[in-house]
Structure 1
């Protein structure tokens, strides 16, 4: 039987009794119909994953007795930070979800010349929290215990200023090479929105030291590119 995994903001430690309330308790108790004695797994992003046993269920809370020690974590050891051009609809949701499953460390949504999404500060924070929740849900599903950071949206130039020398890569279907260079300490990966990266932005990225990377002969959608790029990175530098 598959063990349900849940994210909680509660501190976890061996043999502790954890009381889940609100959303987690509703999901475990009402949706999954958890019973006393059922085994579940909890993680909070910091303390690893703990297996535990449901010891009490009522309408408003679920109590779990944790095991003696945390479980092993299937976490990627290679850090990848994606700068992703803001896109319409569910494309960003899909990209965040799949990038999390594939081991991404952080994602920064980017305002670019071809981005059609316009967000004021309040809406930008609401979207960030929405994407962070998608990342948490993807961690629950994929077995990850370390939650990738979803940074607030910034303009492309501000993100380029954060890319360390020798660690930046820009996806470009007109690029000349793949991820076949020497393995840097981390990868900062620039991916454009639906309309792609403008020539001016490509020049700025090149000036900032980003290497142009080509992922095959076909043009990939903005939500497909992170999946393909992370798969390629995990194949050559990561844990695939």
Structure 2
């Protein structure tokens, strides 16, 4: 028995009937379902254009696994650009993390944006967090603040 999902809410249960060198035969045991996304929609804005090694991959994996609705790379003075090759890599990392965590809705990777692009979103958001060194931990703030099902979380850049 296996479940197949497409990252857009589509889910179908079935079983593998046969496997050979050319592929496999899948038999659906029920009609496909369309599962709506959860009501929680946290948008994460992360300044990580110049993260070294696989730190950006790790960040995207964790955002996906923890249920972020979308991630937007921020372009800052210290991270002025992100190559198209790197954006493609980010998409592959998100897809792999979506599959690994069996998430039915793939996290959205928004195009890289400058901080000024956040201003309209900040004005519309009921709850926004900006991560800074020495700030109160987010968990403490969330437990003491009103319950919101959506909001913005802004992190970075590396080095302040």
TM range (shorter): 0.7 to 0.9
Alpha-carbon offset, residue 127 of structure 1? 2.2
State the match for 1:169 in structure 2.
129
SS of residue in 2 equivalent to 1:162: helix
Equivalences, count: 152
Map Cα deviations across residues 14-63 of structure 1 (whole Å, 9 max, x no partner): xxxxxxxxxxxxxxxxxxxxxxxxx3221012343222211232323222
Normalized against structure 2, the TM-score is what?
0.80
Unaligned runs of 5+ in 2: none
Following the alignment from structure 1 to structure 2, what is the Cα–Cα distance between the partners of residues 40 and 133? 23
Q: Which runs of 4+ in 1 moved over 4 A?
A: 69-73
Which residue, 44, 47, 57 being the options, matches 1:82? 44
Q: Is the 8 A contact 1:51 1:71 kept in 2?
A: no
> Is residue 2:49 matched to residue 1:49?
no
Quote the RMSD (CA, aligned, Å).
2.4
Following the alignment from structure 1 to structure 2, what is the Cα–Cα distance between the partners of residues 185 and 77? 7
Following the alignment from structure 1 to structure 2, what is the Cα–Cα distance between the partners of residues 95 and 43? 23
Which residue, 80, 88, 93 being the options, matches 1:129? 88
Normalized against structure 1, the TM-score is what?
0.56
Unaligned runs of 5+ in 1: 1-38, 197-240
State the match for 2:20 in structure 1.
58
Q: Is the 8 A contact 1:114 1:195 kept in 2?
A: no
User: What does 1:195-234 align with in structure 2 at a 5 Å threshold?
Assistant: 195-196=159-160
User: What does 1:56-205 align with in structure 2 at a 5 Å threshold?
Assistant: 56-69=18-31, 76-86=38-48, 87-115=51-79, 118-119=81-82, 123-124=83-84, 126-163=85-122, 164-175=124-135, 178-179=141-142, 180-196=144-160
Following the alignment from structure 1 to structure 2, what is the Cα–Cα distance between the partners of residues 100 and 76? 14
Following the alignment from structure 1 to structure 2, what is the Cα–Cα distance between the partners of residues 183 and 128? 33
